[in-house]
Amino acid sequence: MKLTVWTYEGPPHVGAMRVATGMKGLHYVLHAPQGDTYADLLFTMIERRDHRPPVTYTTFQARDLGSDTAGLFKRACQDAYDRFQPEAIIVGASCTAELIQDDPAGLAETMGLPIPVIPLELPSYQRKENFGADETFLQIVRHLAKPMPKTERMSCNIIGPTALGFRHRDDVQEITNLLYELGIEVNVTAPMGSTPADIAKMGQAHFNVLLYPETGEQAARHCEKTFGQPYTKVVPIGAGATHDFIAEVRTLSGAAAPIDTDRLRQSWWSRSVDSTYLTGKRVFIFGDGTHVLTAARVARDEMGFEVAGLGCYNREQARPVRALAKEYGLEALITDDYLEVERTIEALQPEMILGTQMERHIGKRLGIPCAVISAPVHVQDFPARYSPQMGFEGANVIFDTWIHPLVMGLEEHLLHMFREDFEFNDAAGPSHHGGHAPSPSAHREPAFADEGLAPQTPQNISGQKENEVSGEVIWLDTAERELKKIPFFVRGKARRNTESYAVEKGLHEISIDTLYEAKAHYAR
Amino acid sequence: MTEQFTPPPSLGCRTSPVLKQRGQREVFCGLTGIIWLHRKIQDAFFLVVGSRTCAHLLQSAAGVMIFAEPRFGTAILEESDLAGLNDAHTELDREVATLLARRPDIRQLFLVGSCPSEVIKLDLSRAAERLTQQFAPKVRVLEYSGSGIETTFTQGEDACLAAMVPVLPASDARELLVVGALPDVVEDQMLSLLDGLGVGPVRVLPARSIDAEMGIGENTVFALTQPFLADTHAALERRGARHLAAPFPFGDEGTTAWLTAIATEFGVSDETFKAVTDAPRRRARAAIAQASAPLQDKSVFFFPDSQLEVPLARFLTRECGMSAIEIGMPYIHDGIHGPDMDLIAEGPQISEGQDVDLQLDRCREARPDLTVCGLGLANPLEAEGLSTKWAIELVFTPVHFYEQAGDLAALFARPLRRKGILNHAGTTAPAGNGIAAE
């Protein structure tokens, strides 16, 4: 048993829904109790879909448990076939149905439906949403895709995009255009946008472009083995990665067509003098493995940030994320415990968070700016405008998105110069955000005093101790006032550094001198 | 006192035939109630014993993620918990001990059963008893089920309140107990109305904290403010308390009828009643008249969701000039819903339970001006050109009693007003955005 307050990933059958909902002509019959239909709103509300997900829930109730839940499943399956006339059906169980062991796969098989019926085994008590999507797509490909002669023209499949994916809609468009420029046709994009008939043709492609390892890697491996299709390993997020991706695609395809890079503005925007203020900003990066790996490279090499910490919530990606962290001289945080992420951020006091919607809320609480780089998604992550993360336009979008939460360059200087200006002060927040920026001092303390559920790891306890230690050092009034003159986006770090410095020196009081000695001590 | 209202229909829909279909239900489970209950009962923590799905539901159900300080969490069952139930109890004890150690402000802990915990027959009542002994007197541990196999959406609140009834102290005092979680502002308005009528002392269930709890016994009379409290109703009757049946306090008519039932019971004079209610009634009527203009002569179709459907249909048909095509409810309880059904003229299809696909067929066929439904159906129906009102908003918004009557009408009017305002030449949903299915 594990106490959870907020979760980064849903259960595996939600992953299966993401695949089914992305596709057309496929129906998912899910053995599930009343209430599991909540998952529909993820798609209709968060993603604003104008159709119900193609899912039939058997909706068993307590009174059915003693009698015939298997019959209920078969009826639901037959009704779904009759009503929706899908090209193929996937069948599976949600967490509760897994316990009653009705074997949806076996039941569906005995029904003799005239279409492919693909059984899913998604262990709800062990695995999560991304696994569910990855495994579901693998099973669909295994059942439907057949070896075929390759297309005459050079072609590839795009693998991995699903419904409810973070910017999948626009990434696919961007990469499709990029491949077109290279003279490569996209044979099938799947799961999102494909039909079972399309899946059957996947074997025609010469190679695969794997955009999202979280949801497509098993299928890409299967295709490599079965159809001899190599797949791309570079995820084209960021300018550097996009160039690497193009090189990789050229190697796989022999394509030699030139690529017009004029539209990549990010490189110049980042080199232009206005961006000097970004130099060495300490960022903490958290999200799914793929987005974290790529964001770390963009942050360090393309924005000039300092990566102060990174990690991911999906254990499937722990290995590459740990390896990358090591390369950056860091230790990766691999956890799906939201409170542990919050404690880590609090301890690190980064100047910016690149995270998920969950970290955005942590940032709000701590008064740290945050840009969202990864799922779990929120209605805000489905903008009306074209807004990819991948390719050259994606790099431009990332530049804009990441600097938006920050106080801009000159503004930052003015805040330093006129710290007590009654109109233009840090509590007013960045000028481009209107009047509702957080006033960090007001947000912090109460939120923390209240927060704090079960610590589950030794690290938590040490985190707790640090707070206590800081409580023992007294800030003299003058020093406290001086601290308040430091702009909010660095104040947390200054406070923490000064307190550590005082503890290190065995001081019990912090004066203005201590503050500035600490500043000199930690000066980079 | 009700002479200014439309006279009651000669035949209400209490005796209308009820359509019962069995199929996919597009409703939340009872766990959803935790979202408002944990804000209402301020010293309580709700610990769901369930799966990742339960945790995911709680975080998704409100349509957004709520990141206020949560006083709820999910003890997620893992493979090892399913193997041995004794171990599951040990694990639960450990999680609870950790939780209570970290949260000394918690005085009431609710262990909330879920579909998986019910199916593996994890006995939470035993766990609650054991934990109560361990943590008494500081913390009271109760349990109820919010599982989807037993409860729909608002029934979770019912199960929670029903679990509290047996542990309330006994009392012989003649008191009014008002039952149902209301937004604080509405609760205060209600208390001030009852105070004006000279009815008191008035107790409220759920109380905002354990210290504010009340005694109960044969002299207790109770009124419900929410139409989904059937089990609580039964539990209170088992304790000897008596129910004051009435329409629910929505709109001018509902609120007046609800107050009248109490006033009659407590022998409040007509003059006092008029003195207290005249001004707020005038305000409510004016507000409804203004807000309901877009609703006049429009039709409404209710999918079963919050269990508020019958009293809301009463309000919309009798006070806002709408006609009801279908009134769907998760379940119907004659003693609770009867008084409102008496006031709704026969005609609308009354349905209980759901086969969502068949009901969607009926809805498309009828093409109502306004469809009240859950979040999973709203956008798809809007894309088909039907205006919708998400039912969950009715649960989260202050809508009871006189001062909210205009707001309640406005909630229904807004989708229609919006449709009238927007003018995108002939479009419904955008084509070719990768979202619209063919």
Residues facing A135 on adjacent strands: none
Is residue A433 pLDDT above 80, yes or no? no
Is residue A59 pLDDT above 80, yes or no? yes
Q: A216-250, pLDDT tens digit by residue?
A: 999 999 999 999 999 999 999 999 999 999 999 99
What does residue B189 show for φ and ψ, rounded to 5 degrees? -60, -45
Is residue B338 pLDDT above 50, yes or no? yes
Q: Which token pair is B412?
A: 């229904």
Averaged pLDDT for residues B15-43: 93
> CB–CB of B53 and A40 under 8 A?
no
Q: If you ran DSSP here, which 8-state letter would residue B152 be given?
A: B
Q: Which token pair is A309?
A: 């910490």
8 Å CB contact between A210 and A217: yes
- Using the CB atoms, write b or e for A481-499: b if 16+ within 10 Å: ebbeebbbbbbbbbbbbbb
Q: How many CA atoms, within 13 angstroms, populate the side-chain half-sphere of residue A7?
A: 26
Out of A366-380, A410-424, B205-219, which region has the weakest mean confidence (pLDDT)?
A: A410-424
Q: A68-111, pLDDT tens digit by residue?
A: 889 999 999 999 999 999 999 999 999 999 999 899 999 999 99
Q: What is d(CA B51, CA B57) in angstroms, rounded to the nearest whole number? A: 10
Averaged pLDDT for residues A485-503: 81
pLDDT of amino acid A425: 58
Q: How confident is the model at residue B345 (pLDDT cuts 50, 70, 90)?
A: very high
A343 Cβ partners below 8 Å, 6+ apart?
A: A459, A460, A463
Out of A38-42, A67-71, A262-266, B201-205, which region has the weakest mean confidence (pLDDT)?
A: A67-71
8 Å CB contact between B29 and B152: yes
From the list A208, A238, A261, the residue with the least C-alpha distance to A401 is A238
Mean pLDDT of chain B: 91
pLDDT of amino acid A458: 30
How much of chain A exceeds pLDDT 90, in percent?
69
The identity of residue B12, as a single letter, is G
Averaged pLDDT for residues A473-488: 84
pLDDT of amino acid B427: 57
pLDDT of amino acid A378: 87
A-chain CB neighbours of B148 within 8 Å are 33-36, 96
Pairing of strands A2-4, B72-76: antiparallel
Element holding A333 (H helix, E strand) = strand A333-334
Out of A2, A65, A95, closest to residue B53 by CB: A95
Q: How confident is the model at residue A453 (pLDDT cuts 50, 70, 90)?
A: very low
pLDDT of amino acid A409: 64
Edge-to-edge strand order for the sheet containing A55-57?
A55-57, A26-31, A88-93, A117-119
pLDDT of amino acid A443: 36
Averaged pLDDT for residues B145-170: 96
Q: How far is CA A35 from CA A38, A42, B58, in A?
A: 6, 13, 11
pLDDT of amino acid A442: 38
A-chain CB neighbours of B357 within 8 Å are 79, 83
Q: A14-29, pLDDT tens digit by residue?
A: 999 999 999 999 999 9
> CB–CB of B116 and A24 under 8 A?
no
Q: What is d(CA A70, CA A371) in angstroms, rounded to the nearest whole number? A: 47
Q: How confident is the model at residue A446 (pLDDT cuts 50, 70, 90)?
A: very low
Averaged pLDDT for residues B266-271: 97
Catalytic residue annotation of A? 274
Q: Which token pair is B253?
A: 């008519």
Is residue B149 pLDDT above 70, yes or no? yes
Is residue A494 pLDDT above 90, yes or no? no
In chain A, the domains with their CATH numbers are 12-142 (3.40.50.1980), 145-253 (3.40.50.1980), 266-406 (3.40.50.1980), 443-522 (1.10.8.550)
The identity of residue A377, as a single letter, is V
Out of A5, A14, A358, closest to residue B70 by CB: A5
Question: Quick one: closest CA in A to B118, which residue?
Answer: A62
Interface test with A, best of B20, B22, B24 (most A CBs within 10 A): B24
**Touching check for A58 and chain B: CB below 8 Å?**
yes
Mean pLDDT of chain A: 88
What does residue A91 show for φ and ψ, rounded to 5 degrees? -130, 145
Angle value at C-alpha A233, between A230 and A238, nearest 5 degrees:
140
8 Å CB contact between B342 and B248: no
Does the interface ipTM go beyond 0.90?
Answer: yes
Q: What is d(CA A320, CA A338) in angstroms, rounded to the nearest whole number? A: 21
Is residue B86 pLDDT above 70, yes or no? no
Q: How many CA atoms, within 13 angstroms, populate the side-chain half-sphere of residue A175?
A: 34
Indicate the SS3 state at residue A25: coil
Averaged pLDDT for residues A158-187: 97
Domain boundaries, chain B: 18-25+287-421, 30-151
From the list B397, B301, B287, the residue with the least C-alpha distance to B348 is B301
Is residue A512 pLDDT above 50, yes or no? yes
CATH class in words for B18-25+287-421: alpha beta
pLDDT of amino acid A212: 98
Q: Which token pair is A328?
A: 């950056």
pLDDT of amino acid A423: 60
Is residue A448 pLDDT above 50, yes or no? no
**Touching check for A197 and chain B: CB below 8 Å?**
no
Is residue B279 pLDDT above 90, yes or no? yes
Architecture of domain B30-151: 3-Layer(aba) Sandwich (3.40)
Averaged pLDDT for residues B107-131: 95
Q: A378-398, pLDDT tens digit by residue?
A: 888 999 999 999 999 999 999
The identity of residue B171, as a single letter, is S
8 Å CB contact between A435 and A428: yes
The DSSP-derived string for A250-271 is HHHH--------TT--HHHHHH
Q: What is d(CA A31, CA B24) in angstroms, rounded to the nearest whole number? A: 11
Q: What is d(CA A191, CA A159) in angstroms, rounded to the nearest whole number? A: 7
Q: B391-428, pLDDT tens digit by residue?
A: 888 888 899 999 999 999 999 999 999 988 987 665 55
B368 Cβ partners below 8 Å, 6+ apart?
A: B299, B300, B301, B325, B386
Averaged pLDDT for residues B314-319: 97
Averaged pLDDT for residues A266-283: 93
How much of chain B exceeds pLDDT 70, in percent?
93
* Residue indicated by tokens 């193997």: B83
Is residue A467 pLDDT above 70, yes or no? no
Answer whether B18-25+287-421 and B30-151 agree in fold.
yes
Q: What is d(CA B121, CA B139) in angstroms, rounded to the nearest whole number? A: 25
Query: Which A residues 6-35 touch B at CB under 8 Å?
Result: 6-7, 9-11, 13-14, 24, 33-35
Out of A1, A40, A192, closest to residue B76 by CB: A1
A-chain CB neighbours of B65 within 8 Å are 6, 357-358, 361, 378
Q: How many cross-chain Cβ pairs, A to B, lie less than 8 Å apart?
A: 219
Q: A400-416, pLDDT tens digit by residue?
A: 999 998 876 666 666 66
Q: Which token pair is A503?
A: 């503890």
Query: Which A residues 156-195 touch B at CB under 8 Å?
Result: 169, 172, 192-193
pLDDT of amino acid A461: 30
Q: How far is CA A220 from CA A116, A230, A234, B363, B398, in A?
A: 21, 8, 13, 43, 52
Kindly compute the dihedral angle of the four CA atoms of residues A486, A489, A493, A494, in this order, to the nearest 10 degrees. Answer: 0
8 Å CB contact between A241 and A394: no
Tell me which long-range contacts B117-123 makes (C-beta under 8 A, separation of at least 24).
B117/B49, B117/B50, B117/B77, B117/B147, B118/A62, B118/B145, B118/B147, B118/B149, B118/B150, B119/A65, B119/A96, B119/A99, B119/A100, B119/B149, B120/A99, B120/B77, B120/B82, B120/B85, B120/B88, B121/B85, B122/B49, B122/B85, B122/B88, B122/B89
Averaged pLDDT for residues B54-79: 78
From the list A59, A42, A56, the residue with the least C-alpha distance to A84 is A56
Pairing of strands A509-510, A474-475: parallel
pLDDT of amino acid B172: 93
B-chain CB neighbours of A51 within 8 Å are 380, 383, 436-437
Is residue A129 pLDDT above 60, yes or no? yes
Q: How confident is the model at residue B229 (pLDDT cuts 50, 70, 90)?
A: very high
**What's this model's pTM, rounded to 2 decimal places?**
0.89
Q: How many CA atoms, within 13 angstroms, populate the side-chain half-sphere of residue A8?
A: 26
Is residue A268 pLDDT above 60, yes or no? yes
